[in-house]
Structure 1
Amino acid sequence: MRLSPTSSLSALAAALALSACATAGPPGTPPAPAVAPGQENRYSATPGPVAGAVSAEELVSRVDIPFEKFVLPNGLTTIVHTDRKAPIVAVTLYYKVGSKNEPRGHTGFAHLYEHLFFGGSANVPSFDIPLEGAGSTPTNGSTWYDRTNYVETVPTGALDLALFMESDRMGALLPAVSQDKLDKQRGVVQNEKRQGDNQPYGLAEYAVADGLFPVGHPYRHSTIGSMADLDAATLTDVRKWFTEHYGPNNVVLVLSGDIDAATAKPKVEKWFGQIPKGPDVAPVQAGPVTLPAPISRDMTDQVPVLRLTRQWSGPGLNDGDAPALRVGMHILGGLASSQLDNALVRGSQQAVSVSASAQVYQQVSVLEASMDVKPGVERAAAEAALDKVITDFVARGPSEDEVRRAVVSTLSAEIGGLEQVGGFSGKGATLAEGQVYSGDPAKYKADLQAIAALTPQNVHEALRKWLSRPVYKLAIVPGARTENGNVMGGWGDEKETAAPPADAKTKTAKLAPAPKRTSPPVAPVGELAFPAIERTTLSNGIPVVLARRTAVPKLVVSIDFDAGFAADALDTPGTQGLMLDMLEEGTKTRNATQIAEEQERLGASIGTTASLDTSSVMLSALSANLAPSLALTADLLLHPAFAQADFDRTRGQAQAQLSQAESTPSALAARTLSSELYGSHPYAQPGDGLGTRISLAALTPSALRAAHAKWLRPDLARITVVGDVTMAELKPLLEKALGGWKAPAAAKPVKVLDAQTPAPASRIVLIDRPNSPQSVIYAGRVLPLTGRTPGEEPLMLANDVVGNGFLSRLNADIREDKGWSYGVRTGVTQSIGPRALQIMAPVQADRTGDSISAIIKDMTAFPAKQPVSAEEYQRVTEGAIRALPTQFETNSAVLSAIVKNDRLGRPEDYYVRLAATYRAIDARRIGAAAGQYLQPADLTWVIVGDRKIVEPQLKGLSLPVEVREAPTAIGDEGEQQ
């Protein structure tokens, strides 16, 4: 697929994502003791509802996506939802074919065909060029077990263009699918597989499917398939696959946004009505599998810590137990106050992170719990502790309070997901999946009502039924990788020898030409209507910005401080990140468990984040619960405890995260590049904020208290709010929560962002990571610009041409033409101080040197040998202008834009004026910016890959090469048994 072979099953499942976060409890909090069935929460009696908080039933009543549906004579089902908040329409198509439909020897076909779908049809040489030129964002697709989908959100005036193009590839694709296109997309897909396999724990997905399902089960082989089957795919195979599965009667089309059924129906009939019906697709027979006995498997891999997992297959999404299992697994390891967190992270401290989830598909689900074991903890003790938590939970079930918190937090997340009309998780996808999987576009509503009605008994019965069966245990053990992803992911009974590759000389029958059709014009697009901005100041001087939006009854708040990871240049590397993490680990009146539980009852989410320049405390809240949500946020911000026990636990988690980053090729490359580019400048701090092993070990609670007092102070703060609240309502609540906060007497700290950076120099740093099927290439150079240098727009447009986006020159060359990578991109950092050009390219290992040569050649040619073309100029200017209305659908997107404008000193109407700014920039100015800033001379290159494969390829580049060893993983140091 264009994004990842592991995109989520459904929009609703995305909103119900059951991922755990490891947080710490109060000093001396004991592990949760076992209690008899029927007893209450381990920490306290079941609390009553928070004052003023909305009920689960009320939340469900606020989730509504009205629609109309019609079916064409050829079987195409169309669903229309009207949402006039912006002049945009989301076009969402779901083909009822996924990897579960693939027979033996053809694994990966659905996904491979999804890639081919973007390669042009009989009347459309490229889908991306006209759609992006018309302002579509996103233009993408994905494949999973049960379906293949395609999404684009376009200006209303480009709807006919989008429908024309989708209908042409549905009805006239095959004549345009050539052997050359098949070979190129085969290469792209195989590099997508290599990219996933190259990650720590990247082979675990294959092992889980192998363990849970027998050979031939439709959900056993991976969506991306096996290398052997991809190699063996022929043009005849591909044509047959399309003919059998891609007829209009196997498709659901959803139009959502600035459209109504009366307008939509004649358009759909015009563009799709003449496509003949395809053959009926036989239903796939699949279901959960009960193992005859428990199974255990160890997999040794280049991972930072031992990961223990427990899996069961479960029922599909239409089963009555599905809602209870989602919530039950959320309570086990998804809530911040989950059973696994309380017992293993905060309690016994045997884990650095835990999780549990129900990954629900149409016909089966995978129920999983996992534990990343703290270094130094004996494996046998960790195994016993994990199994005990699960066994005890299944035996006694959840409390009423746990169910209520899980339900409210789940429903709050669903409301937030409905801000978008399209994309992979918006209203269009929600309606489409209801129709595809359940025959009912409103299935989401029934699911939410079922979740809201859950009782502890419902959840307990489902858990006992499904988790009492034999378990599959997978352990990923630190060490040298011993298994090969190239021979994994297939049907399961193949020999470990590659199938013969497809014969490019094989003759295929010529197809009759498709009827000629003409692309419709795009109607003019109106100017961007950015939300009105209101400003005020609290009594203690903190500036407040509000953009009111009422599409959903939620809001987002960002409290930003002039600090960021660059502040660590005045402290110790890793200080800012660890100090921010500690804000949720306990205050003077609440422990971490109480903090997590209170957020869950409120349907709120409080978190911290940072960039090089800014440290932030973020709040997402239901409008009805804003007052208590702000009060809780203020307590975390103003009164952190920094208790020793919490510090020890949180630092251990940060050390594990650092080891994970050092084990992940892209993260290691990014960390290395920043230090190489910036030297002793504050921006040399790792962009992940984790510091170094030495610096983390040196930190203390007193150092974090000092950093908190030094940097999180009202005279360095700014508050931005976007969502369903008025200024008259907001300001008194902010005054009550934060107005009494006074700045300390000490002078404000100052980061020296005008410090010198090292002179750019062309060189290569090769970090040896054996057994890597891909090399991750990062390159960069500090530019003679700062984030507040005016007139950046020509450079941004030049970057769009060369490397930012699917249609950029580098991606078109190295991914689409050569098939050496899943994606190449460039970017220019948006920091306040000195900015940098960055290039990121994961490529197949045997093409590392060739890829660097291609990057240098492509960048050198722009603009000297290959100036901006008319097509490129239209796409990056007028296409970007038309796309502006789709970029600010969500409260979070608006908030990010406002914060960025304020940080970089831009006028608040920057985005409103951006269309006129772009139209005033001609192709010559774009080329001049490329010539001045985007040339490959003096780039520092960092490569993380297998030295024995990569180093010989670098000899022809005439660049000095320094070879380094990759950091040793904690598990390789003998600290973990």
Structure 2
Amino acid sequence: MGNTSVAGPKFSCACRMQRCNRAGAVHLPISPRAMDETAFVRGKACYRLHMKTKVALRSLFLSAAALSLAACASTRTMEPISATATPLPAAAEPAPLAELIDAVDIPYETFTLDNGLTTIVHTDRKAPIVGVTVYYRVGSKNEPRGRTGFAHLFEHLMFGGSENVDNFDKPLVNAGSTPTNGSTYYDRTNYVETVPTGALDLALMMESDRMGHLLGAVTQEGLDNQRSVVQNEKRQGDNQPYGLTRYAIAEGLLPVGHPYRHSTIGSMADLDAASLADVRSWFADNYGPNNVVLALAGDIDVATAREKVQRWFGDIPRGPDVEQYEADPVTLAAPVTQVMTDQVPQTVIYQAWTGPGMTHPDATALQVGMYILGGLASSRLDNELVRGEEVATSVSAYSNQQEQISFLQSQVSVKPDGDVAEARALLERETARLLAEGPTQDELDRATTQIASGTIGSLERVGGFGGKGMILAEGLLYTGDADYYREELERMAALTPADVQAAMRRWLGRPAFTLVVEPGERTLDGGTMGGWGDEASVASPQPDAGGPAQATAAPRDGPERPLPDVAPVGDLTFPAVQTATLSNGIEVRLARREAIPKVSVAMTFDAGSVVDPADRAGTHETMVDLLTEGTTSRSALDIATQQEKLGASINTSAGTEVTTAYVTALTENLVPSLELFADVVRNPSFAPDAVARVKSQRASEIANQLTSPGGLASRAFGQLVYGESHPYAHAMTAGDADVVASLTPADMAAEHDEWIRPDLAAITVVGDVSMDDLLPALERTFGDWQAPATPAPARDIDRVTPAPRPRLVVVDRPNSPSSYLMLGRLTPLKGYEPGMERIDLANEVIGSGFLSRLMQDLRETKGWTYGIGSGIATLQGQRFFRVQTQVQADRTADSIRAILDQMRAFPSARPVTAEEVRRVTDGNVRGLPNEFETNGQVLGALLQNRLLGRDDRYQARLPQIYRGIDAAQIDAAAREYLSPENFTIVVVGDRDTIEPQLETLDMPITWLSPDDL
């Protein structure tokens, strides 16, 4: 299903919740806007690159380029050294796009079995892992009338087990697969897992059993359960602010019956109507091997792959070819405007057209043109509506590319006090100006360089979503050419401004559909949206209309097949870390990785949002937001355009306890990228117009949090467990609107002077650079930065907290189809101490990951939620334990009981099982190589080590640590730290629906409104 974000293209759903990376990512982060201190993709600029400015889904997956990743050579660990004033090479000109494209290569071979299964093999020996990617040529566009959402429902069913595999997750997770997932979109269904090399036979056997031996395991009970899960997935998306816009835009652009009109998630009525008879016919018609592309990428060669694929898939008979439908773009007869009200914090204007399919000659030009219009940080819409007239807090534009059509869309989030008519007029004026004048060559160069740079950096993975296997598989499936990503990049390099202008004129010069979503009462029902469009006049078939026989599973197809054995894994290779010190005392750490020609630099400061006093919440984050909005020598536009020319990305984030500035740069452009980065960090101007603009954006973010169910729950939970004046309480908010409104440029300058200083700083670097080359560049850009004479400030995080007690607090949010639950309490844990890993593993048993007890109970057994998770927040101060989920509204109280029952039973009534111990110890050890495949993952691990005071070889010691933990230790950790006694329970939902249920819990209820938070 589509992503409900208001600021980006609609992505297919990833239908499994995976365990978090305990070694490198923070559990249950509490910063409202940044995931955590260690996350690499962070902040406004990166948000623009990875969300707002994605030119299309295919621009990251298909137009994406990746280097053939070589083996990662670890550098020798060095003793700390001091940087010398070695002369710095002159700043090079940015690498031209042609050079970037020349570096891009994903070599592969293909073969096809007699039954039509086509396999792509890409060899990459950098790690002992193989990405397994399976693409079926069937998606929501293939669904008939009355059966919308069926492809996605079937994707869920295909995870439920086959004739020889009881559960698809357990064997793979035990074998070290990360991730194990699947998704559905208009044109396809896919399944992905990345496994240790020794588990490849297991993965292939299971995929072949899913493809050839499924129906004997599909029961009415399984169908009913997954139907409930999918319906809760739909409710969860619909429950978000702007959650219904995805339906309205598709319905406004396309006529009833168009294959791309209905949503991937479908309508509630059609999901209710799905029967076992549908399952059987759908499987027989669409899932034959001749409709499949299998990609194997990683530690594999074509000879080995051919033998294995023939062994596991060769006996599956060919099926019918998937039926293809005409699905051309549609031109509206005249402009159409629709206005809808919803429980949203500000008005958003969407303007949309349908465009051509991916192989059309205009497709690439449109992707780049929309990027120039509203994707770049220096885009036309940004310059006019955000920085210029300042009527909007954010803008975006993109081409969401599909196989047969594309969705061309721009959008404007109007300032709460802005003039909507003026904002729309400016949107239309800037669009018309781009069509009339075309882009400049400079805009074109910056857009294509930024796209290519982002592509290289985002595709270090061999498998998983966005990995090299996916790129090759989509190219072959949609275009017949696995190398299509190269063709797209070469087309992009050959574009002229006239090419882009002509394409934009042809497609955006047609009548547009405009949707205006205004704050108010939600008047539309998402449950009735997303379907074919004429459900009122079409009677949906009833489940099992053919009689009771259809409610039984089909007979087994073929003999029993045992699961293959899994070979042992070798030692984890984690890159060695070199250390040095700049002449002003700033610590530098480098993990050299030569897989791709990019370098990631994180400069951290011992600050974070906790430095704000309770009556100044939002001050520090606002200052950090302003760092990229202008320096004493560069305007915000200068910073944006220089990043784009360099193919770099600079962003800043105020996490909970750490403030971080990041730059990701092409290795060739590292020197000029660091010079720009240093100017941003050291010399912000805090110009009055920039301060006013960013204050408005932060006010919008606060308003968004106060309309989001998760945001409301987080604000309430923090205040309840820590107390209203505790730094961690307000760190769980986006700030206080009145405080932000009162901030002045002088306040921002003072905040910067106090906390952004070299004696609070450290630099961590991961990527393709040697210490000999890195140190002179850092010395030149940061070495002369001297600390002020005033002592370095310290954070006050060790405050008295309220005594824990059981309580139920409910935030009334009318018209909510789901209830958001947050349950938890403070623990005695602070920071990191050896032995804490047993608590992590106990938490994984109860609530972290798809195979946790809470997930299996509430989702897979009861079907009341799409997902549930738990964790202990990683903090230097007192850490909290929390369970979070969103459940169907009519099961709110039942879900609370189920959660508490599961937690009370662990370990007293249900101690950890031997299978669970194997999964969270040996299974985690086996999965570690895939958890440190990318520069971002390694950087995240190193930053978390610094936050918690762990040594840089911590990750290398994890296999030994995990293998030393037994069942008794896990049970003891659960008993001591994860019991639900004295839980604070926060519920965000519709009072009319949930109050009668909650009264049955026999707990005093405190009712709040969003205004109370």
Match of 1:744 in 2: 788
Distance 1:721 1:16, change over 3 A: closer
1:811 is the counterpart of 2:855: yes
1:506 is the counterpart of 2:548: yes
Q: Could you tell which deviates more after superposition, 122-131 or 954-963?
A: 954-963
1:68 is the counterpart of 2:101: no
Quick one: which of 594, 612, 617 aligns to 1:573?
617
Is the contact between residue 10 and residue 429 of structure 1 (CA under 8 Å) also seen in structure 2? no
Match of 1:624 in 2: 668
Structure 1 segment 372-771 matched on structure 2, within 5 A? 372-495=413-536, 499=540, 502-503=543-544, 506-508=548-550, 511-514=554-557, 515-569=559-613, 572-680=616-724, 682-687=726-731, 690-771=734-815
Q: Using the alignment, how far apart are the partners of 1:862 and 1:756 within structure 2?
A: 30
Identity of aligned residues (%): 54
Q: Using the alignment, how far apart are the partners of 1:285 and 1:963 within structure 2?
A: 53
Q: How far is the alpha carbon of 1:574 from its aligned partner? A: 0.5
Structure 1, residues 915-943: CA drift from partner, whole Å, max 9, x if none?
Answer: 11111111011011001111111111111
SS of the residue 1:850 aligns to? helix
Structure 1, residues 653-690: CA drift from partner, whole Å, max 9, x if none?
Answer: 11011101111111211122112111156443444662
Q: Using the alignment, how far apart are the partners of 2:528 and 2:661 within structure 1?
A: 45
Query: Match of 1:387, as an amino acid?
Result: E
Match of 2:975 in 1: 931
Q: How far is the alpha carbon of 1:442 from its aligned partner? A: 0.5
Q: Using the alignment, how far apart are the partners of 1:704 and 1:234 within structure 2?
A: 61
Structure 1, residues 240-275: CA drift from partner, whole Å, max 9, x if none?
Answer: 101100000000000000001011100000000010
Q: Could you tell which deviates more after superposition, 498-507 or 834-843?
A: 498-507
Q: Could you tell which deviates more after superposition, 65-74 or 50-59?
A: 50-59
SS of the residue 1:807 aligns to? coil
Query: Match of 1:83, as an amino acid?
Result: D
Q: How far is the alpha carbon of 1:497 from its aligned partner? A: 9.4
Is the contact between residue 612 and residue 727 of structure 2 (CA under 8 Å) also seen in structure 1? no
Query: Match of 2:968, as an amino acid?
Result: R
Query: Match of 1:19, as an amino acid?
Result: K
Structure 1 segment 279-294 matched on structure 2, within 5 A? 279-294=320-335
Query: Match of 2:919, as an amino acid?
Result: R
Query: Match of 1:260, as an amino acid?
Result: D
RMSD of the alignment, in Å? 2.0
Q: How far is the alpha carbon of 1:418 from its aligned partner? A: 2.1
SS of the residue 1:805 aligns to? coil
SS of the residue 2:366 aligns to? helix
Match of 1:39 in 2: none
Distance 1:140 1:90, change over 3 A: same
Q: Using the alignment, how far apart are the partners of 2:957 and 2:383 within structure 1?
A: 51
SS of the residue 2:616 aligns to? coil
Structure 1 segment 99-498 matched on structure 2, within 5 A? 99-495=140-536
Q: Using the alignment, how far apart are the partners of 2:877 and 2:288 within structure 1?
A: 54
Distance 1:854 1:9, change over 3 A: closer
1:960 is the counterpart of 2:1004: yes
Query: Match of 1:573, as an amino acid?
Result: A
Q: Using the alignment, how far apart are the partners of 1:908 and 1:863 within structure 2?
A: 34
Q: Using the alignment, how far apart are the partners of 2:538 and 2:309 within structure 1?
A: 48
Structure 1, residues 758-778: CA drift from partner, whole Å, max 9, x if none?
Answer: 111111110000000000001
Q: Using the alignment, how far apart are the partners of 2:235 and 2:784 within structure 1?
A: 55
Distance 1:657 1:380, change over 3 A: same
1:845 is the counterpart of 2:848: no
Match of 1:8 in 2: 11
1:19 is the counterpart of 2:22: no
Q: How far is the alpha carbon of 1:966 from its aligned partner? A: 2.3
Q: Could you tell which deviates more after superposition, 454-463 or 182-191?
A: 454-463
SS of the residue 1:663 aligns to? coil
Q: How far is the alpha carbon of 1:378 from its aligned partner? A: 2.5
Structure 1, residues 676-719: CA drift from partner, whole Å, max 9, x if none?
Answer: 11115644344466211122122222111111111111111110
Is the contact between residue 15 and residue 414 of structure 1 (CA under 8 Å) also seen in structure 2? no
Distance 1:303 1:612, change over 3 A: same
Is the contact between residue 769 and residue 946 of structure 1 (CA under 8 Å) also seen in structure 2? yes
Q: Using the alignment, how far apart are the partners of 1:15 and 1:182 within structure 2?
A: 40
Is the contact between residue 632 and residue 684 of structure 2 (CA under 8 Å) also seen in structure 1? yes
Q: Using the alignment, how far apart are the partners of 2:478 and 2:295 within structure 1?
A: 14
Query: Match of 1:511, as an amino acid?
Result: A
Is the contact between residue 616 and residue 736 of structure 2 (CA under 8 Å) also seen in structure 1? no
Q: Using the alignment, how far apart are the partners of 1:287 and 1:968 within structure 2?
A: 50
Q: How far is the alpha carbon of 1:503 from its aligned partner? A: 5.0
Structure 1, residues 60-103: CA drift from partner, whole Å, max 9, x if none?
Answer: 01111000000000000000000000000000000000000001
Is the contact between residue 722 and residue 895 of structure 1 (CA under 8 Å) also seen in structure 2? yes
Q: Using the alignment, how far apart are the partners of 2:942 and 2:717 within structure 1?
A: 29
Structure 1, residues 28-66: CA drift from partner, whole Å, max 9, x if none?
Answer: xxxxxxxxxxxxxxxxxxxxx984210000000111100
Match of 1:886 in 2: 930
Q: How far is the alpha carbon of 1:453 from its aligned partner? A: 1.4
Quick one: which of 831, 834, 844 aligns to 1:787?
831
Match of 1:36 in 2: none
Q: Using the alignment, how far apart are the partners of 1:383 and 1:779 within structure 2?
A: 42
Q: Using the alignment, how far apart are the partners of 1:339 and 1:731 within structure 2?
A: 38
Q: How far is the alpha carbon of 1:753 from its aligned partner? A: 2.1
SS of the residue 1:722 aligns to? strand
TM-score by length of 2: 0.91
Q: Using the alignment, how far apart are the partners of 2:12 and 2:1003 within structure 1?
A: 46
Match of 2:83 in 1: none
Q: How far is the alpha carbon of 1:276 from its aligned partner? A: 0.5
Distance 1:450 1:602, change over 3 A: same
Q: Using the alignment, how far apart are the partners of 1:106 and 1:968 within structure 2?
A: 44
Is the contact between residue 7 and residue 143 of structure 1 (CA under 8 Å) also seen in structure 2? no
Q: Using the alignment, how far apart are the partners of 2:51 and 2:100 within structure 1?
A: 19
Q: How far is the alpha carbon of 1:967 from its aligned partner? A: 3.6
Is the contact between residue 110 and residue 119 of structure 2 (CA under 8 Å) also seen in structure 1? yes
Distance 1:148 1:3, change over 3 A: farther
Is the contact between residue 487 and residue 496 of structure 1 (CA under 8 Å) also seen in structure 2? no
- Paired residue total: 940
Query: Match of 2:805, as an amino acid?
Result: A
Query: Match of 1:255, as an amino acid?
Result: L
TM-score by length of 1: 0.94
Match of 1:972 in 2: none
Match of 1:40 in 2: none
Q: How far is the alpha carbon of 1:894 from its aligned partner? A: 0.1
Distance 1:928 1:429, change over 3 A: same
Is the contact between residue 609 and residue 656 of structure 2 (CA under 8 Å) also seen in structure 1? yes
Structure 1, residues 813-859: CA drift from partner, whole Å, max 9, x if none?
Answer: 00110000000110110111111101101000000000000000000
Q: Using the alignment, how far apart are the partners of 1:80 and 1:262 within structure 2?
A: 10
